[in-house]
Each structure stands twice: as C-alpha cells, then as structure tokens.
Amino acid sequence: MLISVKFYNLKGKIYSLVQKAEKYIFRQENVDMPGECVVFPERTQFACNDTKIYAIENNEKNLKITILPEKKELFYELSDADESIIGETAGNDSLIIRSCRDVSDYEQEVKMYYIDINADKMIMFKDSSLEMSYRMPYISVFEGKEYILAENSKIEPYELDEARQGNVETFDNDILILPFDKFKESVVKDEKLKWDILLTAKEGFFVTVLKVTKSYVWFLETIADETKTNIIKYDFIKGAAVINFSIDNRIDDGIFNEENLLYLYKWNGCKEIIDIYDNQGASFASIDYSEFIEKNKDLELEEIVSVSDERYVTFVASDYSEDEPYQCRVEYDIIDKKFTVSNDMGIESEV
C-alpha cells in the first residue's frame, strides 16, 4: 500500500521517495524509463540539503548512512546499544544527529553526534543548548559560507507564565549562530562551542525559527499568553531585521515560495479552526474543519502545503481507514467553503 510520496530536485534531476508498508523506495524519475530503485526499511530516517539525501538506519549500536543519489554507504557505532535517533540535520558534507536512551523510568540521556562525510568520521560532542532544545539546529549557507543556527530554548511559549508563577529560574531564549568551520573545529578539538547570539527574545516572549533560506532567517516572537506574535525577517547580509510586523494571535507555521513568505497560520486543534494571514499580517481566511472531521473520522489533517489562486488551501492528511495509514490530499475552497479529498500525492514536493 502506498503511504506517502515526496519528490526532490537534486542538481536538476527529480527523485522520488515512496513510503509503503514496511519500506521506503528511492529512485530517479524519468519520463522514458524509471531509474534503479534503492529500498530502505520502514524505520529509516531521512535528512536532506540542496544536493543530497541522507538515509539513516539505526540497528542497536550500528548506524548506517546511505548518501543519495550516489548510494555511497558509511558505517558507524553509537556509544550505547539502546540509543534511538530522535533528530537529524544535514549540511553540505556533514550530519548532526541527536540520540536518546532511557537511563531509568524517569530519566533520559541525550547525545549529540557530528559526522564529517568527507573524512568518514563520527564524533560525539556535548552542548547543552543542542541537547536540551526542542528543535534540531539548522545548517544553511549565507554568501558562500556555511553556518549553524540553534534555538537555545528549553521550554515552549505556553510554559513561560507557568514557570514564572512557580518561581522557576528565568529561562534564556536566544537564537544562536556559529560559522560551521568554527563549529567543526571545536567539536574535533573537544572544546566548548562559542556561540554568538543572533536574536534574544524580549521579556515575556519566546522566539523560534520559522524558516531559514539562503538570504534570510524568519523568526516568530510569541508572547507567553499566545495573544500576539512578532514576525521578524532577518537579512543576514545586512545584519539587520528588514521586516517586523505583528499579529494578534499565536502563529504556528508559514507557507513560503523559496525565500518569499506567502502566508502564516495558526492551527487551533481544540476549536478545530485554522486562522490564515497574508504576508502583511492581515486576516486572509478562517477555516472551521469540525464538520469535515466529524464526517470523515478516519482522516486527520496534518499541515498546509499551499494556497493557490487566493482561494484553494491544500492540506496533507493521513487516512486511517486501512490497517496501514496513508497520506492523501485535502483541498478547501475558501469561497464555496467546501472540502475535497484526493489520493493525488504529487503535491508533497521539496524543491
């Protein structure tokens, strides 16, 4: 059974990653004849950049990395047999991996690994910001130089007020940045990472990365009670924020066309309402999907992937009507207020 399909544009060639029951299938797409397939087990995790996809297989202590599309294989050993991979970030010729293992019923141990693909070497390193952050770091290239960005965040926005009321210590919340060559040098020498602070949250706010592009970093600065979000576009070349506007709501995600922000949205799962805003912060649409979910109990909307013709909102959804869930497309017509379900998976693309 087909569960999901993703398409990747790597150096001008189109590849597909098809998820089926108990396996993934990777191949090059060709109009005349399909390319040779590479098959991976269902627990494989994937990380990608503009030129490569890394397939990561974890079997007890054994870690296998397959670099696609060239199909080069690398093999490493984790420090413990019961570690699970819980996060991965791909650089030009590198991987950063986060693992976790249960130390007791109430305690977990998180470890960070850096893999130098060219040197075929894996190094375990320590950094409290990367170990404790809710999100994996970002690796991007600005003006030909590679950087690593990280969220120094140990709690989510809704936890801020609760933490302060309980007289808990103040939690720092910064966006950290470091040239990747300095990151690599420190890891190899087993030295402490010396982060620079790119942005610090205002008092009572929580800052997160919305999107990292080749020229900009987009941030969301959310007040603790989630009634206001500042949207900040940071121009890395100018070293300054070039766009800064506010929305009187929490914002969960954005829709982009390459480097351009198109829409922002808040997903209120409790009320089953999605509020969509344009790239100036003006209200664009409010979608009440409660009746649709009531009639389609086996469907679960997962994310918005596009808004077209200022009318049609396209979702990726999971269908749980079969033994194995699979992904489908759901389209909402803002004018007619109508949902349409389709099994066309071509919308889930990464370019």
pLDDT tens for 93-139 read 999 999 999 877 778 899 999 999 999 999 999 999 999 888 899 99
Average pLDDT over residues 319-327: 85
Q: In what order do the strands lie in the sheet with 216-223?
A: 205-212, 216-223, 229-235, 240-247
Give me the half-sphere count of Cα atoms (radius 13 Å) on the Cβ side of residue 159: 11
Q: What is the pLDDT of residue 351?
A: 27
Q: What is the DSSP letter of 296?
A: -
2-10 and 349-350: which strand pairing?
parallel
Domain containing residue 90? 1-125
Average pLDDT over residues 176-203: 94
Residues 68, 171: one domain?
no
Pick from 49-58, 154-163, 179-188, 281-290: least confident: 154-163
Name the domain boundary from 251, 270, 294: 251
Beta-bridge partner residues of 255: 263
Across the range 200-221, mean pLDDT stands at 89
Residue with tokens 């206001």: 228
Measure Cα distances from 130 to 33, 91, 186, 236, 303 in Å: 44, 16, 14, 22, 26
Task: Choose one of 125, 152, 179: the last residue of a domain.
Answer: 125
What average pLDDT is seen over the chain?
Answer: 88
Angle made by CA atoms 201, 140, 134, in degrees to the nearest 5: 45
User: Residue 32: pLDDT band by 50, 70, 90 thresholds?
Assistant: low
φ and ψ of 165, to 5 deg? -65, -30
Q: Using the predicted structure, report yes or no on whether residue 346 has a pLDDT greater than 70.
A: no
Same-domain pairing of 224 and 270: no
Mean pLDDT, residues 211-236: 91
34 CB burial (10 A radius; 0-12, 13-18, 19+): exposed
pLDDT tens column, 1-26: 677 888 898 888 889 999 988 899 99
Model pLDDT, residue 343:
73
Alpha-carbon distance of 298 to 171, in angstroms, equals 40
Tally the C-alpha atoms within 13 A of residue 170's C-alpha that lie toward its C-beta: 8
Q: Are residues 174 and 232 in the same domain?
A: yes
Q: Is 157 left (phi over 0), alpha (psi -120 to 50) or beta?
A: alpha
* Same domain? 282 vs 237: no
Instruction: For residues 26 and 81, state if they share a domain.
Output: yes
CA 159, 165, 170: angle at the middle one, nearest 5?
65
29 and 90 share a domain? yes
User: 135 and 175 share a domain?
Assistant: yes
What CA–CA distance (Å, rounded) separates 250 from 275?
Answer: 10
Count Cβ atoms below 10 Å from residue 291 Cβ, excluding itself. Answer: 11
Burial status of residue 93 (CB atoms within 10 A of its CB: 0-12, 13-18, 19 or more): middle
Q: At which of 227, 251, 275 does a domain end?
A: 251
* Angstrom distances, CA of residue 98 to CA of 95, 190, 271: 10, 17, 34
Same domain, 81 and 140: no
Q: Which two tokens stand for residue 351?
A: 């370019």
134 shares its domain with 121: no
CATH number of the CATH domain containing 9: 2.130.10.10
The residue to which tokens 């150096």 are assigned: 11
Q: How far is residue 186 from each of residues 119, 176, 194, 340, measured CA to CA in Å?
A: 16, 16, 8, 52
Question: Which of 25, 33, 30 is closest to 2 using CA atoms?
Answer: 25
Reported as a pLDDT band with limits 50, 70 and 90, residue 154 is: low
Q: Is 103 in the same domain as 206?
A: no
Q: How many domains does the chain have?
A: 3
Does residue 121 sit in the same domain as residue 5?
yes
CA gap 14, 33 in Å, rounded: 13
* 307 and 217 share one domain: no
Helix, coil or strand: residue 315: strand
